[in-house]
A = this chain, B = another copy of it.
Amino acid sequence: MRRLYHLPFDPQSRKVRLLLAEKKLDFSCVIEPVWERRETFLALNPAGEVPVLVEPEGRPIWDDAAICEYLEEVYPTPTLLGMQADQRAEVRRLVAWFDKKFANEVTKNLVGEKLHKRFVTGSTPNSSAIRAGKQNVHYHLDYIGYLTEQRNWLAGDDLSLADITAAAHISCVDYLGDIPWKDHEGAYDWYVRFKSRPAMREILKDTVTGFPASPHYSDLDF
């Protein structure tokens, strides 16, 4: 069976898990502590990062973008990029929005400081970074609200990799309880719809020992 080397609170890994689940492709998960730099893992991916997908008899694929494009090419139904080039460009624009802009302005400041520093590097979280993350998230939730006022899902009529990428990041931050849902009805409505999808089930079971999830993390009716 295909294997995915991942980390539960890495949004890039969550994106691939969600895509695999939306495409109803079976896979087994291997949690890879990349900071240990295990030799057998470095042989799979000399870059030493997750996610890495290994198809039976296939060459290991890294990174998340390469994996998603590969899965879309080999298993095109249902499409998560769309059929027309300009539509696909819009999906990929929003994927970049969340993987670059949201990641830098929100995920890194909150998940990076609160989880990664505490449990991986053992260093002290930077409180001004956390404050910045909590402030920046409003703008991004507004953007989600703005998009879904005009469209059924983030990039158009159909669910796409844009929704998956946004949910991959937001679900990690939501574990911490740092998504101010009450102030952002549009984003809330979008996430309620996404969260109830079967693909989200496994994601909502993820936990960090010693750092419990926010009370509503796995609640579909939060």
Which residue numbers of A lie inside 8 Å of B, CB to CB? 46-47, 49, 58-59, 61-63, 65-67, 69-70, 73-74, 85-86, 88-90, 92-93, 95-97, 100-101, 143
Chain B residues near A58: list those with CB within 8 A. Answer: 86
Tally of this chain's copies? 2
Which residue of the partner chain, among B65, B96, B97, B143, contacts A92 with CB atoms under 8 Å?
B65
Identify 5 residue pairs between A and B in the complex whose beta-carbon atoms are under 8 Å apart, listed by A's number. A63-B93, A63-B96, A66-B89, A70-B86, A70-B88
Chain B residues near A73: list those with CB within 8 A. Answer: 85, 88
* A69 and B59 alpha carbons, distance in the complex (Å): 22
Closest 4 CB pairs of A and B: A66-B92, A63-B96, A70-B89, A73-B85
* A41 and B138 alpha carbons, distance in the complex (Å): 22
Chain B residues near A46: list those with CB within 8 A. Answer: 143
* A90 and B143 alpha carbons, distance in the complex (Å): 34
A88 close to B62 (CB less than 8 A): no
Chain B residues near A100: list those with CB within 8 A. Answer: 47, 49, 63
Known: A70-B89, A74-B85. 10 other contacts (CB 8 A): A47-B101, A58-B86, A59-B86, A62-B96, A63-B92, A65-B96, A69-B88, A69-B89, A70-B88, A73-B88
* A7 and B47 alpha carbons, distance in the complex (Å): 28
Within the complex, the shortest CB–CB distance from A92 to chain B, in Å, comes to 4
Chain B residues near A88: list those with CB within 8 A. Answer: 69-70, 73
